[in-house]
Amino acid sequence: MPFATVADVRLRYEVQGEGAPGEAPVLLLAGLGRGLDLWDAQAHALARRFRTVLVDNRGVGESDAPPGPYSARQMAADAVAVLDELGIARAHVVGASLGGFLAQEVALGWPERVARLALLGTAFGGDRCRRMAESTWRALAERGGMPYEDYLWRAVPLGFSEKYLERHRDGVARSIRARAARPVSPEAWMAQAYAGATFDASDRLAGLSCPTLVMAGTADIVVPPANAWLLSRAIPGARIALYPGAGHYFFVERAEEVNRDLIAFLEGDR
């Protein structure tokens, strides 16, 4: 297993595909409590066109879980360390949910490292973004002593639309079993959650100059879709793509459509 190390923290990563000579690779950054498996519906499609790098953020998967709390800036620096390990000077950066916070921090802190930026189901943080309902937050955060697989099943309706769950429950069940085999500790989950709760780029995004695409599902109850509009208006020249009726994991629900739109954007809409 390949690892990068930053400040004694080992970060698990995976590389798929080769990409064309001179083409920027794609870096995929996952959300709260999620590892590189979050991108199962995207990685293969992207790897046919780009060298694709997936990362287990600190606290999840095969990466180390040092004591928290973490910050979005710190986790973004982890992602840059993976690029350094691979000798990648510049990449397209794609982040979902909390990974979208990290992607914004990479673009803000290391602008020379970012070719294009895609932000999926995410927000700019702070008091001006639209927060999830209190009931949603409690369902995500109040794990108690329940088995991890039971906790994941309780969270499933928050991530997907009812229509998707009706049609794909067997596939969701397989994913839940795979995730339950590598549980995220409550401490690591809260350390990542702190990074999300303290992130605020609302006053910094006007300085971004990289081409940006904001993507969201209109039935997202974890990151309300109003945030996509706010985010696209805060970033100069940003474009927006909405997927009607899809939930927080719209890129799983509508994978074929999302992959087509994402690849077209990363290719420069050629």
Q: Where are the alpha helices (DSSP H) in the chain?
A: 40-47, 72-86, 98-109, 134-141, 148-159, 162-180, 186-197, 226-234, 250-253, 255-266
pLDDT of the chain, 270 residues: tens digit per residue: 799 998 899 999 999 999 988 899 999 999 999 999 999 999 999 999 999 999 999 999 999 999 999 999 999 999 999 999 999 999 999 999 999 999 999 999 999 999 999 999 999 999 999 998 898 988 888 887 889 999 999 999 999 999 999 999 999 999 999 999 999 999 999 999 999 999 999 999 999 999 999 999 999 999 999 999 999 999 999 999 999 999 999 999 999 999 999 999 999 965
Contact 53, 27 (CB under 8 A): yes
Residue 198 included in any domain: yes
Predicted local distance difference test score (pLDDT) of residue 21: 85
Closest CA to 24 of 210, 207, 204: 210
142 lies in a domain?
Answer: no
Does 79 reside within a domain? yes
Residue carrying structure tokens 């995004």: 205
* Assigned domain for 203 exists: yes
83 within a domain of the structure (yes/no): yes
Quote the pLDDT of residue 269: 62
Residue 139 lies in a domain: no
* Residue 178 belongs to a domain: no
CATH code for the domain in which residue 221 is found = 3.40.50.1820
Inter-residue contact 35 to 10 (CB < 8 Å): no
- In angstroms, the first-to-last Cα distance of the chain is 35
Question: Has residue 116 been placed in a domain?
Answer: yes
Number of domains in the chain: 1
Say what the pTM is: 0.95
Q: Which two tokens mark 152?
A: 């994941």
Its domain, for residue 26, covers 3-132+186-266
